A and B are shown apart, each in its own frame.
Chain A
Amino acid sequence: MNRPRRFVRQMLTIARRDFIATVATPVFLLFLFAPALMLALSTLGGIGAASMDAGDAQRTRVIAITSPAVSTTMAHENERLRPLFRPDDRPAPLEIVAPAGDVAVQARAMLARRDVDVHGVLYGDLARPTLLLAPRSRYTGNYLEALAQATLTAERLGAPVTVTATRIQARAPRSSLGGRHQSGFVAVFGIFFLTLFLAGQVVGSMAEERNNKVIEVLAAAVPLEAAFGGKLLGLFGVALLFVGFWGTVVGQVASFLPAGAAAAMGALAPAVGGPAFALLFAAYFSMAYLLLGSAFLAIGAQAQTPREIQMLSLPITLVQVAMFALASAAARRPGSTLATVAELFPLSSPFAMAGRAANAPELWPHVLALAWQGMWVALFVIVGARMFRRGVLQSGSARPFWRRRVDKAAGGSSASI
């Protein structure tokens, strides 16, 4: 068996071991379902908060002290005005009270009510009303003023006027600038989020072999480059399983979503077109994972203790956040120097190029970028393996492959003489 084929075989052997060792543990289920747990918790929190809001709405009021003659009109106008606000921003329910005695005294009494929170009280002539407002109520005054104006206008007109409009919803243009930028940002953020979740796992993976001394057998049987590459590949397999699982789940859920959400998704309009964008997104996610993973693997392999690995996790997260910041800035300003820098710098390149796929229609730069990034993955793996051999296995001088080949050629010729 020739060298490259054997190398691939060795890499796959190690990848297979790592993949199975990672997946076939109970902890992996916890990891796999962590997003569901997160979603469940945030949903519970959301429901709790919503019910509290609903409870609050029941116990708040704005009050208008006005003659029963206009109360019907005012109630009608209140019904008409309220839908102008988003449900969460709507003013408190309106209560209309007939004047009794000194309205100023009555209004103060209303504001001091204990059974409900009163945000504001309107009294006096509708053209020149007085608004008594609770502390910290910022928009209630505006609403009560508008309500008075609308009521007064309706009263003056006599017969109520009803406007009924015909609504036509236009479809989003194919690829608006906003849609491109938005999909650029979604791409960058999506890749960042996934790698943040997943690539950090790689850091400690070499520690296992060092602690249980398996590294000695591995190093004797396979080149360290294959061991590193295999570990990277194995954990990438775990990441793909994770992404595949949740991708399927989200895909199924999306088909049940109301039309509005689907329309919002439709607003994402990448410049290279949907299918190509999906492919490029997958490719750049893989590259981002492999690039960050190989760098982390190389650094993590140098760590002497689990404590050092824990200490490494903060700088590693910071590096990822920095790459995300750089790439998302680039996605907002396509074609700028900053964007070019982000696209060329190996660690930010997958993020930035995914952003570019959303912003620019050409496909050839992506071919170049993928090759460029692949080269860096190989470089990180080779350098990482070499550093490991030198530092950890205590070998002063690993001869580079070209010298080995020269030696072999020399040995071969001398043998034939």
Chain B
Amino acid sequence: MDDWAVAAEGLVKRFGERRVVDGIDLHVPRGAIYGVLGPNGAGKTTTLRMVLGIIEPDEGHRTLFGAGHPRDAGDRVGYLPEERGLYPSMKAKDAIAFLGALRGLPWHVGRQRGTAMLHDAGLGHAADEKIRKLSKGMAQLVQLLGSIVHQPDLLVLDEPFSGLDPVNQEKLEALILAERDRGATILFSTHVMAHAERLCDRLAIIAGGRRRFEGTVDDARATLPSRVHYTPRRADPAIAALLPADAVPAGEGWRFVLPTEGIEPSLGRLIAAGHGIAGLVIERPSLHEAFVRIVGEAAASGAVPVEQAA
């Protein structure tokens, strides 16, 4: 009936006078890996908390798998909060089983799966250790396993990569992909573009409490034109006249934005004038650049914050 794992419309959250989240829409298709990107304090965590029903939105509404209140679908959801927390005196496998039990998984199944999952992750020896004896990264992994032990249909991860070393970041990416292959929908927030670029089927960029962009990674990169770096055979000031108006010298060559009509007319003129082509690079903008541009524009427009810019 409903193809969205998460559907949220017009979510608003006020903390005092400040509109921390100011009318955000979020539609996560089933089976997708969906990224919520934004700078610090953009309202990512607050949005996720509203989607999960930890807090209620002041305006707007959201459904999880079509359920009117998110907690009615709670047993199908796994959640790794930004502020990680486990009971320090619990054993690792019990902590995993407890997180599963909260979502309706029988304790003994949770313990078995927890032990097996720790074993697969190379932490089999830690299953009977108490959480307080584990390193921070290990505790984080235990909590992550706890959020997927009941095999949720929706996995919500808030800044899952923060605090992990590169090796463990790689492992986490593999785990997210494995969960997607199992059939789960994954919704995660981050401000590290590299992960989003590699993982996301779709993404939303949030800044200043509003959604500034929604689409695929390629869509996001396409919001910026490609850049051209051209190197002639010989340096010659006359070249400038043949290039687009925004061309600036850079080392031996020139840099300019790829013109809308394409690179060919410029190249034709250059070859005809005998400047030749010693080097030509057309660079697509990275997600990082797109993000900085989108967030930067948001910050510039944020000078008049309360105005409805629809």
Contacts and interface: CB of A to CB of B under 8 A. Distances in A.
Interface string A205-219: 000110011111111
A10 B105 CA distance: 11
Interface stretch (B85-93, B257-265, B267-275, B285-293): B85-93
B55 A394 contact: yes
B47 to A, nearest CB: 13
Contact of A396 (B15, B74, B87): B15
A80 interface: no
A25 B89 CA distance: 9
A214 B83 CA distance: 9
A415 interface: yes
Contact of B101 (A13, A212, A213, A407): A13
Contacts of B102: 10, 13-14, 217-218, 221-222
B103 interface: yes
Nearest to B83: A213
Interface stretch (B63-71, B113-121, B240-248, B297-305): B63-71
Contact of A213 (B54, B71, B85): B85
18 contacts: A13-B98, A13-B102, A16-B107, A21-B89, A21-B90, A213-B84, A217-B102, A217-B143, A222-B74, A394-B15, A394-B55, A395-B56, A396-B13, A396-B15, A396-B56, A404-B68, A404-B69, A412-B68
B83 A216 contact: yes
Nearest to A416: B1
B1 A3 contact: no
Contacts of B52: 220
Nearest to B55: A395
Contacts of B81: 213, 216-217, 220
B104 interface: yes
A216 B1 contact: no
A398 B85 CA distance: 24
Contact of A411 (B49, B54, B63, B101): B63
B74 A17 contact: no
Interface of B: 1-2, 13-15, 49, 52-56, 58, 61, 63, 66, 68-69, 71-72, 74-75, 77, 79, 81, 83-90, 98-99, 101-104, 107, 143
A166 to B, nearest CB: 68
Interface string A105-117: 0000000000000
B50 to A, nearest CB: 9
Contact of A215 (B72, B85, B107): B85
Most chain B beta-carbon contacts within 10 A, residue among A21, A208, A220, A399: A220
Interface of A: 1, 3, 6, 9-10, 13-14, 16-17, 21, 25, 208-209, 212-223, 389, 393-399, 404, 407-408, 411-412, 415
A1 B75 contact: yes
Contacts of A398: 56
Given A220-B81, A221-B103, A408 B68 contact: yes
A21 B131 CA distance: 13
A3 B72 contact: yes
Contacts of B13: 396
A411 B68 contact: yes
Given A217-B79, A219-B54, A220-B81, A9 B104 contact: yes
Nearest to B53: A220
Nearest to B20: A394
B103 to A, nearest CB: 6
A214 B71 contact: no
Contacts of A223: 71
B54 A393 contact: yes
Nearest to A401: B69
A17 B87 contact: yes
A220 B83 contact: no
Contacts of A396: 13-15, 56, 58
Given A222-B102, A398-B56, A407 B68 contact: yes
A340 B68 CA distance: 45
B56 A212 contact: no
B104 A6 contact: yes
Contacts of A25: 89
A407 B2 CA distance: 18
B69 A408 contact: yes
Contacts of B15: 394, 396
A242 to B, nearest CB: 20
A79 B57 CA distance: 89
A217 B87 contact: no
A13 B106 CA distance: 10
Nearest to A12: B101
A393 B83 CA distance: 13
A397 B54 contact: no
Given A212-B86, A220-B53, A394-B15, A17 B98 contact: yes
Given A219-B54, A220-B54, A223-B71, A21 B84 contact: no
Contacts of A219: 54
B296 to A, nearest CB: 29
B85 A221 contact: no
A218 B87 CA distance: 12
Given A222-B71, A407-B61, 11 more contacts: A6-B75, A21-B90, A213-B84, A213-B85, A217-B143, A220-B53, A220-B54, A220-B77, A404-B68, A404-B69, A415-B2
Contacts of B104: 1, 6, 9
Given A212-B86, A216-B83, A404-B68, A399 B56 contact: yes
Contacts of A394: 15, 55
B54 A216 contact: yes
A415 B1 contact: yes
A214 B85 contact: yes
Most chain B beta-carbon contacts within 10 A, residue among A21, A212, A216, A415: A216
B154 to A, nearest CB: 12
Contacts of A397: 56, 58
Contacts of B87: 17, 21, 208, 212, 214
A21 B79 CA distance: 23
A211 to B, nearest CB: 9
A238 to B, nearest CB: 15
A240 B68 CA distance: 39
Contacts of B85: 209, 212-217
Most chain A beta-carbon contacts within 10 A, residue among B1, B53, B55: B55
Contacts of A214: 85-87
